[in-house]
Amino acid sequence: MHETFVSTKNPPAKRLFNRFFRVKLCRQSGGDSHVKTVATPRPARAAGLFLALGLLCLGTLSGPVHAEGEATNPAVRERMALMKDIGRNLKSIADMVQQKAPFDSHAAHAAAGTIATDAGRIHTLFRPRESDPASEALPVIWERWDDFVAHADKLASAAKAIDATSAETLAVGFRPMAGACKSCHDNYRMDD
């Protein structure tokens, strides 16, 4: 009996799965083999798994917001531009952490600084209860305002604390930033 957890018809998904988890092909008596998945992530890839989950929460910030088009409300457009800027800078750091881009201490430090500045503006831009059909902001933001602001402050603090002296220290500092984004999006952003 041969079991696989990822369809062989989808090689990219299988490669992604195998990249993050140990997969063992075990032979039983009688010649049958099966795939055994060890549930623990590969130690060298654990940061990458966390990063992948964090980036998943970002969605497609650089792409179109909705099929209906861009926001028409100027306040909402400004909020969305701020979030896209955070997403672009977070992605530039993520690419360095995932080794998709070469490590650049100055670029990482600049990106973290921009994230910290932008995160500090979140409460100002979201304070007016503005809406637009293209917005992904949930109304619960204004019902739980103090918690929402605490999430933004957590992101700003994590970005300020980034140590961009090496790829390793950058990866360690990236985790709290990605976690702050994910936590906020889980609570206050509409699902795609």
Measured between alpha carbons, how far is 63 from 54 in angstroms, rounded to an integer? 17
Place 108 in a pLDDT band, splitting at 50, 70 and 90: very high
145-159 burial code (b ≥16 CB/10 A, e <16): eeebeebbebbbebb
Whole-Å CA distances, 23 to 1, 11, 53, 93, 181: 16, 15, 20, 29, 31
Count of CB atoms situated within 10 Å of the CB of 126: 21
Place 167 in a pLDDT band, splitting at 50, 70 and 90: very high
Whole-Å CA distances, 21 to 38, 48, 137, 165: 7, 11, 34, 29
pLDDT averaged over every residue in the chain: 78
**Parent domain of 156:** 74-188
Look at residue 54 and tell me if it is in a domain.
no
Look at residue 20 and tell me if it is in a domain.
no
Look at residue 7 and tell me if it is in a domain.
no
Place 70 in a pLDDT band, splitting at 50, 70 and 90: confident
What was the pLDDT predicted at 174? 96
Look at residue 129 and tell me if it is in a domain.
yes
Tokens 């902001």 -> residue: 137
Q: What angle do CA 162, 164, 167 make, to 5 degrees?
A: 115
Question: H or E element: which one contains 23?
Answer: strand 21-27
Average pLDDT rounded to a whole number, residues 105-111: 97
- More reliable by pLDDT, 135 or 53: 135
Look at residue 17 and tell me if it is in a domain.
no
Average pLDDT rounded to a whole number, residues 49-66: 48
Closest by alpha carbon to 20, among 44, 45, 52, 57?
Answer: 45
Q: Does the pTM exceed 0.75?
A: no
- Which residues are within 8 A (CB) of 130 and not within 5 positions of it... i.e. 6 or more apart? 73, 75, 76, 79
List, for residues 12-37, the tens digit of each pLDDT value.
444 544 554 444 444 444 554 444 44
Total of domains in the chain: 1
Look at residue 149 and tell me if it is in a domain.
yes
Q: CATH number of the domain that 118 lies in?
A: 1.20.120.10
Measured between alpha carbons, how far is 56 from 189 in angstroms, rounded to an integer? 13
Look at residue 116 and tell me if it is in a domain.
yes
> Taking a C-beta distance cutoff of 8 angstroms, is the pair 134, 76 a contact?
yes
Look at residue 66 and tell me if it is in a domain.
no
